[in-house]
Amino acid sequence: MPAPRCDETAAWTALSRHFEDSGRSLDLRQAFASEPHRFERFCIEAPEVFADLSKNRWSEATRALLLTLAQECQLAERRDAMLRGEPINTSEGRAVLHTALRAPQGAGPHSDTVHDMLDRFLAYAEQVRDTASSGFTDVVNIGIGGSDLGPQMAVPALDAWCHPGLRLHFVSNVDGHDITPVLRRLDPARTLFIVASKTFTTQETMANAQVARAWFLAQGGTDLGRHFVGVTTNLDAAAEFGIHRTFGFWDWVGGRFSLWSAIGLPIAIAIGAENFRALLAGAHAMDRHFAEAPLAQNLPVQLGLLDVWYRNFLGFSSRSVAPYHQGLRRLPAYLQQLEMESNGKQVDALGRPLTVATSPVVWGEPGTNGQHAYFQMLHQGTDVVPVEFIAVKRPTHEHTDLHTKLLANCLAQSQALMLGKTAAQAATERAPTASPDLDPQVLAQQRSFPGNRPSTTLLLDELTPRALGALIALYEHRVFTSGALWGVNSFDQWGVELGKALCNQLLPRLASGDVQGLDGSTAGLLQRLRD
């Protein structure tokens, strides 16, 4: 018997009633005024991550009902099935075992295979890092999606741990404007190319790898075997391409969950084997928390439940991620794939149409940059967008005055979103830049803020490899939680197929100009591009 879907449970009916009775109208300002211990009650301490969930539009009653929902949907049983290696990716008949990649030796499924490969690619990373003997100064990762976004996010995040003599570059797009400026700055004799692709068939990656190989040879590069390595589950295809040094992984590692495998090679080259192991250890600590903490104190579970509450009851269709750490500038892009490719589905795992909304749009920019761009809309726009602030207590630089300002900004934004400002308050203030001709009442309305806008704040002590590992694993398990309640298969991505197939059909038409049978718009655009 498959586990029930959220909308098929008694808890869902109870939540709908609760939403109508009090959930819809909950006001955070009143909640804090009437609950002196709201902060403590809604905080969770997980490995490496402290979370303040108190500025969210839910009550103890909401949380209790959401917990019942999790139980009725057999969340714990589903989680355990994933961790045991059952083939929960049913549409592809595969297990989902990225957690095995960070389990200590002997502690997870496939342990020997995982640790043999880990030792092998970390030993290779150390060879590359020994720049006096390797001669490398530049490493180019060619990959896209899960074979790009993890390393591209983690390397700048861990800048303070990165090898000072190695530059890491990331080429993903089939747009030649991506690879061209990268190649222009490289010396073939000192460059290592990593061709990273789970399937080794992805159009963008294969095309860029061919451009890189042709460039390398045209520049007089010799010893292709030393300068090109592959990371893939398709070792035969890599060999056919002419790459003989390969690091493998397995079909039970989804692309968007693969940074812990050899796909993390650029990270390992940047930060070294010991720090890469710390990244894995942090993720493993979060895995244990997810597996063992009671659901009421289980941070990924609580975040996933909140996501369902917001999406399906309060109707919030997006969530903004605001990392107050410049090193995390690629985190929103990474999370877009993790969350939207996993849960952007409209049928459940049994193929039945869903009656509830699924993945929100995830988007964001680092703070404080976002404040000077789109935060206007977050504070005064007509849509409510929950914001997730990520703050780091200790910086890895010495400019403590900058860091204090950064943290004050972070706290101020969540405070402003929640508190808002009435028109009456605004009317008492001076607004030096306002036109003196404007009616003060009109100005007061324009300068008022509705408030009651929700946010979560995640705090890390320091953005170490271990903390980053825990943070990313937290997001993975949160996505699992909301996906399990919605009843979707969070581990396939059929939605990317149609565009790929149509692209393959259009490629020869762009060359030939044949528009027969095409819809009017595509035909018109194609012709215009050829004119």
Catalytic residues, by residue number, are 341, 372, 500
* Helix 299-309 vs helix 465-486: crossing angle, to nearest 10: 50
Q: Work out how close the CB of 328 gets to ligand F6P at its nearest, in angstroms, rounded to a whole number.
A: 20
CB neighbour list of residue 218: distance below 8 Å, 6 or more residues apart: none
| Residue 410 vs residues 270, 271, 322, 416: alpha-carbon distances, Å | 29, 28, 9, 10
Q: Which is nearer to ligand F6P, 334 or 449 (CB)?
A: 334
Residue type for 78, please?
R
- CB of 197 or CB of 455, closer to ligand F6P: 197
Range list of β-strands (E), 384-471: 387-394, 455-462
> Which residues are near ligand F6P by CB under 6 A?
144-147, 197-199, 202, 205, 255-256, 341, 493, 496
Q: What is the C-alpha radius of gyration for the chain, rounded to an integer number of angstroms?
A: 25
Distance CA 505, CA 522 (A): 12
**Residue type for 146, please?**
G
Tell me if 143 sits within 8 A of 197, measured CB to CB.
Answer: yes
Burial call 337-363: b when 16+ CB within 10 Å, e when fewer = bbbbbbbbbeebbeeeebeeebbbebb
| Least Å from the CB of residue 269 to ligand F6P | 18
- Closest to ligand F6P by CB, 108 vs 143, is 143
| Integer CA distances (angstroms), 48 to 103, 104, 154, 279, 526, in order | 17, 18, 16, 11, 52
Q: Which is nearer to ligand F6P, 144 or 212 (CB)?
A: 144
The nearer residue to ligand F6P, 62 or 208, going by C-beta atoms, is 208
| Among 49, 50, 100, CA closest to 282 | 49
- Nearest CB to ligand F6P, comparing residues 442 and 503: 503
Nearest distance, CB of residue 191 and ligand F6P, angstroms: 21
Residue at 237: amino acid letter: A
Q: Nearer Cβ to ligand F6P, position 249 or 310? A: 249
Beta strands in 78-166, from DSSP E residues, in sequence order: 138-142
Shortest Å distance, C-beta 263 to ligand F6P:
8
Smallest distance from ligand F6P to CB 117, Å:
16
3-state secondary structure of 232: strand
Q: Shortest gap between Cβ of 160 and ligand F6P (angstroms)?
A: 28
The distance of closest approach from Cβ of residue 255 to ligand F6P in the complex, given in angstroms and rounded to an integer, is 3
Q: Is there a contact between 318 and 361 (Cβ–Cβ < 8 Å)?
A: yes
